[in-house]
């Protein structure tokens, strides 16, 4: 299993080590709770709906916890990705997550300076966090479900002696494949990580 953020679901980036999507859809579903206030309290539908809302809250909090763990683990790379993101492309982080990542980086740098670096010789008092913190492993394997048919997906070989080969992904099919191969399809919404 990889350290990326995700749960199985429409806003899932499960299994990947990149922060892929924000949990907007789950938040929208939680807002439906206003409908409960208008229903009768003895109605069975109300108790079932409440149980569903509690399940969604649990999934959402677990999802957000997982996203924060990934941000903490790969914070310099997450911030670098945001910095180099093209102007029109949507952010993979919410504004709160972006602020958290920036604060986390600032606090980490301050801690390193105060605890270790100030005791080092002057030529060693700088640290490049992009090089010091490991990158997400984009070559890890993830499970995915195809939402839209995709043709001619180039799959990279395991070893040099194997040849590259192309596969077609049928709608509704499920696969185990390297994240790097399907990352653009995840970003476009053509496939969903499970």
pLDDT-derived band at 145 (thresholds 50, 70, 90) equals very high
Burial (CB < 10 A; 0-12, 13-18, 19+), residue 71, is: buried
Given CA atoms 82, 188, 178, 147 in this order, what sign does their dihedral have?
positive
Q: Per-residue pLDDT averaged across 143-153, rounded?
A: 91
- For residue 18, the model assigns a pLDDT of 57
Helix axes 44-73, 95-115, angle to 10 degrees: 40
- For residue 100, the model assigns a pLDDT of 95
Higher pLDDT, 66 or 25: 66
Higher pLDDT, 34 or 77: 77
- Of 17-21, 110-114, 129-133, the poorest mean pLDDT is in 17-21
- For residue 42, the model assigns a pLDDT of 76
């Amino acid at each position: 299993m990889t350290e990326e953020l995700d749960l199985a679901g429409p806003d899932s980036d499960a299994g990947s080590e990149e922060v892929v999507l924000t949990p907007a859809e789950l938040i929208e579903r939680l807002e439906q709770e206003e409908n409960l206030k208008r229903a009768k309290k003895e109605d069975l539908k109300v108790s079932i709906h409440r149980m569903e809302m509690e399940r969604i809250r649990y999934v959402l909090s677990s999802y957000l916890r997982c996203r924060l763990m990934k941000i903490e683990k790969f914070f310099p790379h997450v911030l670098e990705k945001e910095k180099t993101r093209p102007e029109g492309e949507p952010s993979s982080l919410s504004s709160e997550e972006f602020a958290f990542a920036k604060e986390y980086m600032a606090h980490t740098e301050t801690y390193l300076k105060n605890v270790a670096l100030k005791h080092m010789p002057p030529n060693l008092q700088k640290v490049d966090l992009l090089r010091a913190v490991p990158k997400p492993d984009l070559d890890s394997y993830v499970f995915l479900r195809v939402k839209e048919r995709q043709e001619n997906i180039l799959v990279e070989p395991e070893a040099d002696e194997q040849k590259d080969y192309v596969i077609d992904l049928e709608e509704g099919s499920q696969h185990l494949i390297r994240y790097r191969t399907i990352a653009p399809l995840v970003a476009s919404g053509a496939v969903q990580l499970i």
